[in-house]
Amino acid sequence: MPSPKAKNPARSGGSPVFGSANGRYDFKSLTKPLNRSSPPPHLLQRQGSDPTTARLRASESPTRRRGSSSSTGSAPDEDGIRLNPSFVRVALSSLLAIDLWLSKQLGVCACEDSSWGSMRPLMKLIEISGHGIPWLVGTAYCLYKSDTAAGQEVMLNLFMGLLLDILLVGIVKAVVRRRRPSHNRMDMFATFSVDSYSFPSGHATRAAMCGRFFLTHLVLAAPLRVLVLLWVGLVGLSRVMLGRHNVTDVVFGFWMGYWQYNLVEMLWLSPQTLQGMMGQLF
């Protein structure tokens, strides 16, 4: 008699059975191991039923996923860089704004209609006193008229220092190329190509160098020494009041002229040295 289990295989809890040639029944769900890595058949059918989703997933490569994640991760850093500029840049921008504002406030003699326009002729006279051409002509004349070796030595090195000052200031102006203030009137005495730029102030460098030169190599009484310092300060002040320069142009010019004197001392020429150089050349 056949077994009741063979007639009703669904009660055994197994999968449908299939007969074999030798009359034995094989339970496929028990003899074949289950592949746990593959998704269930009903999920495969859902994924396959949406061709657009399958095509998008196939086109999205791992490299593209990594690139998208890295780009999203770097976005906050870029925003942080844009929103947090360096302290040096902020400080320089603030200093420039203060410099322009203060220079405009002090330009009280920029034109005749300014608040101190009546003092413009006096400021222009001080401006000429610090110009390079009068200094070169005056120093050359004193060198020619000097009848002592000490006087010739002093005037010779002052003349060389003036030439050095013109050369260095011209180089810095050509490199920086800072325009003069907008309220300046281009009515300066004997200007050249680089004089259209303002940084640094050549009058300030010349006044600082000549002032230090006189205080060191000339025997002056105390009132005369005070007058030399007063002249140096007035030359720098006149550049701002006339609207020729910004405040930082004059301040840097004073600093540059002060250290130019050290260079003159390093290159100091004595009459004997000059005669030896002239003898070698001629």
Give the residue ranges of DSSP H helices in the chain. Answer: 4-7, 28-31, 41-49, 51-59, 62-83, 87-106, 120-129, 132-145, 149-176, 202-217, 222-241, 247-266, 271-281
CA 35 to chain CA centroid, nearest Å: 66
The residue from 131, 183, 203, 217 that is catalytic is 203
Residue by residue, DSSP assigns 195-236 as GGB-SS-HHHHHHHHHHHHHHHHS---HHHHHHHHHHHHHHH
The residue from 42, 183, 217, 245 that is catalytic is 245
Orientation of helix 149-176 relative to helix 132-145, angle to 10°: 160
Is 245 annotated as catalytic?
yes
Is 131 annotated as catalytic?
no
Catalytic residues: 203, 245
